[in-house]
Each structure stands twice: as structure tokens, then as C-alpha cells.
Amino acid sequence: MHTVSRARSVFWREIAGMILSSCLVLPALAFAQTTSAQEAPEKLVRAAVANEAAAAKNSSIKHMFRSRRQSAKGSQTRLYVETNDAMAAMLVAVNDHPLTAEQQQTEDGHLSWLMNNPDQLRKKQAREKEDADRTLRIVKALPDAFVYQYDGTVTGTQAMGSPGAQLARLKFSPNHNYNPPSRVEEVLSGMEGYLLIDVQAKRLAKIDGTLYRDINFGWGLVGRLDKGGHFIVQQANLGDGSWDITDMHLDIKGKILLVKSLSMVSDEVFSDYRRLPDNLPFAKGVEMLKAEVHHDHSTEAAKTPHP
């Protein structure tokens, strides 16, 4: 039983890395360069990927932001603060209602536990680094894993690319000459869809991907992602020299160890990005989260009419 549980845990992390993190973290880089939408699409993709890879290595900009994730079980709203040590996060609403006193106590207790257990905080930081490294491997594979062709242009918005910017739409399909170097990149072999790339900034503004066939891992013994799985992720220029995720849709199903159903179906919106000091310890990030929650409660209380 322990072996099955461990295998399931490893597979979930693989899926999170291959699908979620391949899109969730499109790191920031203030790199502007003009280009023509008529240059070879592979060249445009390579330029954008080079920027994303450089950003993953060099970015130091930190933010506080909010996410609202909607799934079949309801919605959860969280606050996040990026710190020097790891991401500090706090659940702040369930189904758009503030937490109960017991739920708030649980959130506070978990953050206090992390602050008082340096080993656990280092483990959390290491897991986040593993996810980031896996993401970078996926991003670096994009130019070689697919064949691209132009499919028109669209205009950037506040939530996608830069407002008013020209976004090149590039359809992609698998490059059958591509040999995935590991399981992490293997998922790309069964995917097709399109990218939107900000032509001037050379940044990924959106990726829309669909699995056109089943993807098996470990010859189908470890797991499978079902044909028809779909995801959409988009990011935008935050106006402070960085870009970040604004919207994500996932509809991925499959099997784990041939018997356990896998289902990731959700819509998540990221908003209220605010730049923070570059040098921010985890404990200070937790203070900021608690202060923001207190501010939200005070604001709601002020709006509530008194008899």
C-alpha cells in the first residue's frame, strides 16, 4: 500500500510538472525587440523561448497576488506572496465566503509551522525549485517538439499580452522527428493547438493545447492521459517590467496505475498583482498576508449596513 501511495504521489508531481508547470510559470523578463510577423515562425518561437529561459534564471521581481480557482467542488480564493525562501500562501475564501474562525486558525497554524520549521521551509523551497526546473525543460523543448505555422494575428488586451500589442497566432502540431529526452517532455508528443506570441516583446501570451491521442507513461503501467484533454493558459504584461499568469483552464483526465482515475478540471483566474520589495523573507511575507486579510475583513465590515 505504501508503494502504491508513493507511486501515485510521484505521478501527480509528474503530471503537475508536465501540464501545469509547463504553462503556470511563464517567468518575467523585460526584453523588448521589434520583429516582423512574417519572420519564420520557428525563429519567433525560439526568440520567445530564449527570453522565457533567461527570465527564469534572472528574474528577481516579487509580487503579492490573488487567485480564484473554480472546480466541480466549488471555488477557493487564495492570496500569495513571493518571498526569498518560498511562496507564502493563504486560503481566504471558500465559495466566495470568508473563512470560518476554525478555517482561519488552520491557515495561520500552517504558516506558523513553516516559519518555525526551517527544514520544512527548505523542503518547500526545494519542491518549488524542482517544479521551476521542470517547467524550464518543457519551455526549452517547445521549438523542437512542434512544427509551427502562422495563423493570423490578434490584438493584446489587459489580461493577455500587452494592451494593443500585435500577437502572432502560431498553430502547432507534433514534430515527428522529435525524440523526447525524458518523461517530462513526452507529453508534448501527443499535443496540438496554438500559441500567441507578443511580436514586439517576444513573450508567450497564450497557449491553447489539446491531446489528440492518449499519452501513456511507463508503457501504460504507471499512467495515462486521455485523448481530448485540453488546457488554456494566458499571461499579461503587468506594467512593472514583468509578465505573469492571468488565466488558466484545465480539463485533463486519465488513469493512475491502470485503476485510479485522474481528473484535473478547473478554471483559475489570477489578479491584483502588486509589486513587493525584492528582498523579502518568508516571515515578512506571512505578515503581509495577514495584514491583507485583516484589511479585507475591515473593508467588508465597513460595507455591511448596521441596523
CA–CA separation, 104 vs 90, rounded Å?
Answer: 9
Tens of pLDDT, residues 92-106: 999 999 999 999 999
Question: Is residue 180 scored above 50 in pLDDT?
Answer: yes
Burial class (CB in 10 A: 0-12, 13-18, 19+), 173: middle
Q: Give the pLDDT score at 273.
A: 96
Task: Count how many domains the chain has.
Answer: 1
Residues 161-165: what's their mean pLDDT?
A: 96
HSE (side-chain half, CA atoms, 13 Å) at 222:
16
Question: Is residue 34 scored above 70 in pLDDT?
Answer: no
The 3-class secondary structure across 203-219, one letter per residue, is EEEEEEEEECCCEEECC
**Cell numbers that stand for 109 in this block:** 497554524
Q: What is the DSSP letter of 26?
A: -
Question: Is residue 33 scored above 70 in pLDDT?
Answer: no
Tens of pLDDT, residues 188-239: 889 999 999 999 999 999 999 999 998 887 655 567 889 999 999 899 999 9
Tens of pLDDT, residues 287-306: 999 999 988 777 666 666 65
- Dihedral pair phi/psi, residue 162, rounded to 5°: -110, 140
Burial 41-71 (b: 16+ CB within 10 A, else e): bbebbebbbbbbeebbeeeebbbbbbbbbbe
Greatest CA separation for the chain:
72
Distances (CA, A) of 111 to 194, 271, 276, 289: 39, 22, 19, 10
- Percent of the chain having pLDDT more than 90? 61
Q: Give the pLDDT score at 295.
A: 80
Compute the radius of gyration of the chain from its Cα atoms: 20
Tens of pLDDT, residues 55-92: 777 777 899 999 999 999 999 999 999 999 999 999 99
Residue 178, domain extent: 2-303
Q: Which amino acid is at 257?
A: L
- Three-state DSSP class for 71? strand
